[in-house]
Amino acid sequence: MPKASAASGKKETRHVSLIVRWVSIVAMTIAVSFLVFSAVVYNTVKQEALSQQKDTSNEVVNILRKRLVGIDDELEITNVVQQLSPNTRRILKGGPALSQSENSNSSVFGDTVLSTVTNPDVTVAIYNLRNEIVFHNGDSAPKLVKFTSESKSVVKENKKGKSILYVYRKVRNRSTHKLTGYIVVRNQMTSYNRLISRTLSAMLWLSLLGVSLAILISYLVVRNVVKPINKMSKVAREVNDDPNSTARIPELHRNDELEELALSFNMMLDRMQKYIEQQKQFVSDVSHELRTPVAVIEGHLSMLKRWGKDDPQILEESIDASISEAERMKHLIQEMLDLTRAEQISVHYPNAIAEPMEVLTRVVGDMGMVHPDFKISLEVEDLDPDTKIQIYQGHLEQILIILIDNGIKYSTDRKEIAVSAGQSGQEMQIVVQDYGEGISDEDKKKIFNRFYRVDKARTREKGGNGLGLSIAQKLVESYHGTIDVESVLGQGSQFRIIFPVLSDEDVKRLQSREQQKQAEESGESSNPQSAES
């Protein structure tokens, strides 16, 4: 025993709490969902912002290219500056310089279109075919890299981890399509980098907040569920340690499945303890009942041992008494078996059907033959001979025999038993009336209890064990019937049993179920291997 409890104790410490399990599952699920969601949102925002930046850079490239495609020769400082700055061009052509009002946007080139180049993020450089810078704005000119297609754009990361967009474009003469140079535009993408870092940190914080909230809420929810479960297992452990414990789950006041479970659990414990109590009582009653015949037999045997061998009268008497006690024990054991079996009717005879008219006629006739000194009559009112009730025929016989036998056993002068039967609506009733000693109101409440006898000594004389009515009641109730008694002390008793009558549909249903059951049983017995498996 200590070994087993130590093992179970070990098992308990190893189990992972439902709270931990549930909370980690929820936290993981929320975290993964957030991660996926964040990744999708982040990527979309990134793509969108990057495409805006590319548009800006391409716009600058196109403005420059449009100006440069008119140059026939290779790009040089002289022809490029002239093309890009109208002011220079005007002066070179001998015209006046741009006025202050014309030059109002104060860009490097004084050109409204080119002023876009003055975006502080954007630096442009123009290279000739020998990779020499012929023009650039800003402090450091973006470097030219080799590229084969007409244009190329790449995003590179600087040392600080900021993304920088480079756009490279070949410049060809408008009419000859001859390559004259290259345009390189570098975009620092400040707003893009700011947006990306803000989005990232917002998502990080949001994820942390979401996961923490999910953990908190799921912890509260699960704790709410686990608390009553813990209470239940505590009560179960207490009852396990002491089967007589009165520990029960307190009212949960939650109106849900757990409340229902707790109620069923308490009901189960009540029932289990009642059964244990009944079982104990039964064992003690049985031992008590067996003690008397065993003591009687023992007494006779010791008497025989001492004097009986030489005294034929004692020998004869003792043997007779021992046989009669042994028979009583046999009878008692049979009755106890009947009582136990009566509790399992639904398992053994679930579809049995009997015709009460036929059974009544037979039993009353048989009892009349066995007790010729008694007038046992049968009176039937409104009971169709075809009326059927759900009961195993042998059990209906047993009930009737117990009641008629009691009537005979506890009779006085009037040796008469009147059995009557009738039907009203969906019920049929059988009444067994005797004119014997009767039962007091006090005893009427107890006669259906096991081993209860009104007058122990007299009943024993009559061969009663106090089990007959318990068996009859168990049988009747197992077949959904009722049994009761009316009695006047000194005048007689009337035992009434009522059974529901079967409709034609009920009969068909029970018959088909019985056929099915028999088919299954014969199938099982013809294939013992499958039954075993």
Which CB, 102 or 484, lies closer to ligand ADP? 484
Q: In this complex, which beta carbon is closest to ligand ADP, that of residue 318 or of residue 406?
A: 406
Residues 390-409 that bind ligand ADP (CB under 6 A): 406-407, 409
Contact code string over 421-460 relative to ligand ADP, x by CB under 6 A: -------------x-xx-x-------x----xxx----x-
What lies within 8 Å, CB to CB, of 359 at 6+ separation is 393, 396, 397, 400
Taking each helix axis from N to C terminus, what angle separates 312-342 and 468-478, rounded to the nearest 10 degrees? 20
User: Which residue number, 83 or 470, has a Cβ lying nearer to ligand ADP?
Assistant: 470
Q: Which is nearer to ligand ADP, 214 or 467 (CB)?
A: 467
Do β-strands 133-136 and 482-488 pair in parallel, antiparallel, or remain unpaired? unpaired
Query: Cβ 444 to ligand ADP, closest distance in Å?
Result: 9
In this chain, which residue has its C-beta nearest to ligand ADP?
Answer: 464
Residue 410 touches ligand ADP, criterion: CB under 6 A: yes
Element (H, E) at 57: helix 18-68
Shortest distance, position 364 Cβ to ligand ADP, whole Å: 16
Question: Do 165 and 155 form a contact (C-beta atoms < 8 A)?
Answer: yes
Nearest CB to ligand ADP, comparing residues 349 and 410: 410
Largest CA distance in the chain: 170
- According to DSSP, residue 251 is labeled P
Beta carbon nearer to ligand ADP, 207 or 494: 494
C-beta of 479: minimal distance to ligand ADP in Å?
19
Cβ of residue 440: shortest distance to ligand ADP, in angstroms?
A: 10
CA 370 to chain centre: 60
Query: Structure tokens of 473?
Result: 């009641």
Name the CA dihedral angle for 416, 421, 422, 423, rounded to a multiple of 10 degrees: 150
DSSP characters for 303-353?
Answer: HIIIIITT-HHHHHHHHHHHHHHHHHHHHHHHHHHHHHHHTTHHHH-TT--
Q: How far is the CB of 396 from ligand ADP (least distance, A)?
A: 17
| Helical ranges in 106-163 per DSSP H | none
Q: Which is nearer to ligand ADP, 178 or 445 (CB)?
A: 445
Please report whether residue 374 would count as binding ligand ADP according to CB under 6 A: no
Determine how β-strand 427-434 pairs with β-strand 163-172: unpaired
How far apart are CB 398 and ligand ADP at their closest, in Å? 12
- Minimum CB separation of residue 487 from ligand ADP in Å reads 7
Written as one string, the DSSP assignment of 169-195 is EEEE-TTT--EEEEEEEEE--HHHHHH
Quick one: tokens of 320?
């007779």
Cβ proximity to ligand ADP: between 308 and 466 the closer is 466
Nearer to ligand ADP, 390 or 465 (CB): 465
Nearer to ligand ADP, 383 or 447 (CB): 447
Interactions with ligand ADP, residue window 460-479 (CB under 6 A): 464-470
According to DSSP, the residues that pair with 184 across neighbouring strands are 125, 168
Q: Quick one: which of 388, 493, 501, 502 contacts ligand ADP (CB under 6 A)?
A: 493
Whole-number minimum distance, CB 294 to ligand ADP, in Å? 19
What is the smallest separation between the CB atom of 443 and ligand ADP, expressed in angstroms?
7
Residue 269 within binding range of ligand ADP, rule CB under 6 A: no
Cβ distance 420 to 461 under 8 Å?
A: no
Tell me the two tokens of residue 505: 């549909």
Least Cα distance to 407 among 491, 309, 474 occurs for 491
Q: With contacts defined by CB under 6 A, how many residues of the chain interact with ligand ADP?
A: 21
- The answer to whether 153 touches 146, Cβ cutoff 8 Å, is no
Kindly state the smallest distance separating residue 263's Cβ from ligand ADP, in Å.
Answer: 36
The tokens for 278 are 């009944």
Which C-beta is closer to ligand ADP: that of 171 or that of 447? 447
Minimum distance from residue 359 beta carbon to ligand ADP (Å): 20
Query: How buried is residue 277: exposed, middle or buried, by Cβ count under 10 Å (0-12/13-18/19+)?
Result: exposed
Interacting positions 7-66 with ligand ADP (CB under 6 A): none
**Contacts (Cβ under 8 Å, ≥6 apart) of 30:** 210, 211, 214
CA distance 239 to 341: 29
Query: Contact residues for ligand ADP (CB under 6 A)?
Result: 406-407, 409-410, 434, 436-437, 439, 447, 452-454, 459, 464-470, 493
